[in-house]
Structure 1
């Protein structure tokens, strides 16, 4: 039955990649139900992700400050109530969102929550099954369907490239060459390409003199990224130099993004950019593949040599001897895939 409610609260408090994966689903909702208003509650850092989606507002959850703990979440609930919410879509389903959800339940609100498929994912990582699981995008869409919105995703449910502002424009205007974004790090070692091999990729690309390479990363990555910036021509490190908004402007205008199974892959995909991903002890079958990307753009570790892959969903667990799974993906294979994608673009 179609839902007649007009204002949906969407809860997804973290992490960056998971928040970015909500975008195609929210875009589809706005496209199919233009009369509906959506308010996303998340960490304030993520606000720029939603800034250009019609009918979508953002509300900051300060979970380390005034919204910390049970009493803080009750305060957040009271603040959100004032927005005249009709129904609640919990796309996170963790302790914080459960507590917040409980307050809305007591308030008589209709609520739907994500089914994370924990049993299926456990079976995948423990070697009982090896097959494609439902994607996270579809799991998010199911939450809206359970609220009565028969939403369906299309390849067009992505954001338009952002207009470059002064800082981002300065970086992109350095050259007329094809721009390659590289995000070489991830939260866990199990899904981070070895530094020496990544340097070989950067070196080979730089040697062609055909590309401008832009390096993305977090505060902990700045030293290594700066070293590569100094060592190779046509390489620019933006980590620690730009605001998140300015990084999004660059990402949305890239020709291709090379990323681990991590947040930057999803940021590029939400803009419909071409994304190449490198996978170690995780695997696309778990449902975290970037939206709208061809399966052949995933470079996978050698499963014949490492038959237990995937060993975890998040890359934080792997058995002894699986430290080097990514070494089976050669720098030559990475460069070849990048050049193939650019050539066919």
Structure 2
């Protein structure tokens, strides 16, 4: 099978899932520098790919000009670029339509196997064996392998830290303290460490006077909570409403450590090789969503003996009665101990 010359890579959402494509695309470019890659995603995610040489970007305006029959326009835009292969890393209705339209024009296409049946087995029934499934990064890599691009993710190399502007340097301050990002929110409450307990974590870290703590989040409600926390501590800065996405990536790349839920900020930090401590609620690392390159010891789990039905779902959107507060079983002192041990 002849190698493709120009691959269209489709991953439309969500932020964390798009971020997980980045290490894979770095390896593709490193292994096959002669092959051109064009990524199709939402415009706000384009900054994720700026550090990868040889990657072009097409905006998928799925709520505007590419909505509905507008997908024909998207496929035509891609086809005019001369692509000869499609790596569909999303495999949803929109990407399937684009894939089909290009396939009938003679373009070779491959799509991700999300392992839905395997994941369902781990989230139903009374016995959870928590067999470790293939990571999402490897599932992405498999799509390229099926296009004839044999890649090995162990060949991945992280880029240098991003340059930081004087404005961002101002947030770090002049004192030589370790910089820690804390992203306390997640898409579902079942994956979110309780704010009162997170405040205990922050208080314990603040007392040491060894760390500069940056709070990350999005949306008015989250920003309001983070501003309240910021006001209570000397070494804490809320940056949730202070930075553009590009600036936030720059700040994250210069952190010494990130504390995150099973959510996007962990994947953003992992893109840059920043150590990530992930707090897991009703989801579990066995399902394949551990941030790239992060060791098992950085995965802090809820009490599996007390809550044996974990993982209750793939994304944390469903759980049985009594599992609403599983993350209270992760004590603040345990998190602080792990942070100090890691940095």
> Which TM bucket (shorter chain)?
over 0.9
Aligned counterparts of 2:154 and 2:267: Cα–Cα separation in 1 = 16
Q: Secondary structure at the match of 1:231?
A: coil
| TM, length-normalised to structure 1 | 0.96
Q: CA deviation at 1:169?
A: 2.0
Q: CA deviation at 1:174?
A: 4.8
Aligned counterparts of 1:217 and 1:160: Cα–Cα separation in 2 = 24
Residue 37 of structure 2 corresponds to 38
Residue 181 of structure 2 corresponds to 181
Q: CA deviation at 1:102?
A: 1.2
| TM, length-normalised to structure 2 | 0.97
Q: CA deviation at 1:320?
A: 0.2
Aligned counterparts of 2:104 and 2:167: Cα–Cα separation in 1 = 47
Q: Secondary structure at the match of 1:137?
A: helix
Residue 72 of structure 1 corresponds to 70
Residue 274 of structure 1 corresponds to 275
Aligned counterparts of 1:341 and 1:284: Cα–Cα separation in 2 = 19
Aligned counterparts of 1:265 and 1:4: Cα–Cα separation in 2 = 34
Contact 2:89/2:111 (<8 A) preserved? yes
Q: Secondary structure at the match of 1:154?
A: helix
Contact 2:128/2:309 (<8 A) preserved? no
Q: How does 1:28-107 map to 2 (within 5 A)?
A: 28-69=27-68, 71-107=69-105
Residue 146 of structure 1 corresponds to 146
Q: CA deviation at 1:173?
A: 3.2
Contact 1:23/1:158 (<8 A) preserved? no
Aligned counterparts of 1:263 and 1:143: Cα–Cα separation in 2 = 22
Aligned counterparts of 2:309 and 2:159: Cα–Cα separation in 1 = 37
Aligned counterparts of 1:172 and 1:100: Cα–Cα separation in 2 = 44
Aligned counterparts of 2:154 and 2:12: Cα–Cα separation in 1 = 25
Residue 264 of structure 1 corresponds to 265
Gaps of at least 5 residues in structure 1 are none
Q: Secondary structure at the match of 1:45?
A: helix
Residue 7 of structure 2 corresponds to 8
Residue 110 of structure 2 corresponds to 112
- 1:155–1:237 CA distance, 2 compared to 1 (3 A): farther
Contact 1:280/1:300 (<8 A) preserved? yes
Deviations 1:119-147 (A, max 9, x none): 00000111454210000000000000000
Residue 300 of structure 2 corresponds to 299
Q: Secondary structure at the match of 1:4?
A: coil
Contact 1:193/1:326 (<8 A) preserved? yes
Residue 247 of structure 1 corresponds to 248
RMSD between superposed Cα atoms in Å: 1.1
Contact 1:8/1:39 (<8 A) preserved? yes
Residue 120 of structure 2 corresponds to 122
Q: How does 1:220-231 map to 2 (within 5 A)?
A: 220-231=221-232
Q: Secondary structure at the match of 1:315?
A: coil
Contact 2:4/2:147 (<8 A) preserved? no
